[in-house]
Amino acid sequence: MRFRARTIFRTIAVFIIISILFSAYSFSVCSVSAAYYTAGADDLKSLGLFIGTDVGYDLDRAPTRAEAAVMLVRLLGKEAEAKDKNYAQPFTDVPDWAAPYVGYLYENQLTNGIGDNKFGSTGLCNEQMFCTFVLRALGYTEAAGDFTYDASFDFGIKIGIVDAATVKMVNYYKDAGETYEFWRDECVSIMCCALNTKIKGTETTLLEKLISDKAIDEKAAEAFISKSALVDELNNLIKSSPFDNTKPVSMKIKDYMNQPFAPGDIPDGVTVNYTNSMEIDVDLTVSGANYAALINMNMQGITSIESETYLKDGYLYSKSMGEKTKQTATQDDSVDSLLTSLDSSYGYIFDAFSVGECENIEKTVSNNNTVYKITAAETYYGSDASDANAEEKLYTDDVVMNYTFSPSGKLISVARESKESSGGIVDYETNTDITINASGDGVKIEFPDFSDYVESTNPDSTLPPYVVGV
């Protein structure tokens, strides 16, 4: 669940206040290393396909080519053969512990090295390299024209061995003009996805072949198979996002954020007697080129703030703090812009899950509705970014997500709970609830009487007058 950052959409301008107020006291954590697929590593270990290093799974760093070779041979279920046969290979830079694995890959024409009798054992393995190894394991080859090395990651996306969270993260770095660093963490995700991917030209998945070849015990694989089936079932149901500008929708979004204060977290000269918490409720209706957004924000210790924003026939209407204004809408105020921002903020909730992300998934029936509950945990080392001398701590972000569907398979609601903790103490918690009230042609927007709305004195800004200049 790597790409889970929220952004605050600009069109509903009162949210700008939230970022200003909340950031004033927030404990800022600088994450320096993280693991998001520990559950997948546990699954692979239970299948005998992943062991880790002398310091554990070691997911929060880039893999070497030698380590990637070991992972691939295990994924092929050929570790025993590799060690028993210890095939010869021509490379002069392969350490003894990796030699049987590299030898197997060379013997079976799965690697050619990097030239000059070198395998490149200590060189880092990037996403193209690892995807190329795994694609070859699934029977795809460059020689047959299935893919090229440069496009191996894209081909991996196409056949399903690269999950949505990894794709989003790679695109995020590319869009920011930064280099994406491929980690052992992503190796685990790709391996988990590969197990459920069909081998080229067959209807048999890699996992089914490994079980048939007796490389994996069928009993040991039952839990992974069951979890994979439920994840696929859920993915097929949630692939239609409500943030789709092709259909009208009425929804309610509720966000709750809470951050308990410690005495050292309070800035000098600031007196507070409450925890840093706030709750935001948004009732949003979108139909065609128009929308209505009713917002209520409560921050503990601060008076509730309510606002209304409407886009109708190319005009933006705002009501807040007793003022009613209107102005010609810009592209930034459009439905497309609003839904794009909403998708950026909450769209990850509707991304397809990878089995490697999920610690557990449960399916229950309540009042004839079907509920899927997913639990996951993300871990990382970080420190207080505001204190250069702060020691790094291990943080855990425990996430629970509940998806509720009607008997006909229509999405009713999504609830996400997240608690970030260190040493058993909760540092930060967030809850997000999205309820789909209605969708389709029956959705109608009820607009108020705009006759007493006055032309904005600051037409270049969509922000309410009291926010401008902050």
Kindly list the structural domains of the chain, giving each domain's residue range(s) and its CATH number in brackets, ordered by start: 15-28+245-455 (2.50.20), 49-215 (no CATH)
Is the confidence at residue 274, as pLDDT, over 60? no
Predicted pLDDT of residue 165: 85
Q: Give strand pairing partners of 413.
A: 404, 435
Q: Which of 305, 301, 309 has its CA nearest to residue 9? A: 309
> Could you tell me which residue, 350 or 285, shows the higher pLDDT?
285
Distance CA 96, CA 73 (A): 16
**Main-chain phi, psi angles of 163, to 5 degrees:** -85, 170
> Could you tell me which residue, 322 or 380, shows the higher pLDDT?
322
Is the confidence at residue 366, as pLDDT, over 60? yes
CB 117 within 8 A of CB 106: no
Q: Give strand pairing partners of 255.
A: 280, 432
Distance CA 352, CA 404 (A): 16
CB 127 within 8 A of CB 180: yes
Q: Which of 29-38, 46-55, 206-215 has the highest mean pLDDT?
A: 206-215
Q: Over the stretch 244-264, which tens digit does the pLDDT of each residue have? A: 778 899 999 998 887 665 444
Average pLDDT, stretch 363-375? 96
Predicted pLDDT of residue 188: 96
Distance CA 46, CA 202 (A): 26
Of all residues in the chain, the percent with pLDDT exceeding 90 is 56
Predicted pLDDT of residue 175: 86
Is the confidence at residue 30, as pLDDT, over 70? no
Predicted pLDDT of residue 5: 34
Please, which pLDDT band fits residue 145 given cuts at 50, 70 and 90?
very high
Cβ-Cβ contacts under 8 Å for 305 (sequence gap 6 or more): 14, 17, 296, 297, 298, 320, 321
Predicted pLDDT of residue 55: 82
Average pLDDT, stretch 286-292? 93
Distance CA 446, CA 400 (A): 35
Predicted pLDDT of residue 441: 83
Q: Which two tokens mark 288?
A: 């065609």
Q: Which two tokens mark 264?
A: 């050292």
Q: Over the stretch 290-338, which tens digit does the pLDDT of each residue have? A: 999 998 888 765 667 889 999 999 999 999 888 999 999 988 888 988 8
Arithmetic mean of pLDDT over the chain: 83
Distance CA 180, CA 263 (A): 37
Of all residues in the chain, the percent with pLDDT exceeding 70 is 80
Please, which pLDDT band fits residue 377 given cuts at 50, 70 and 90?
confident
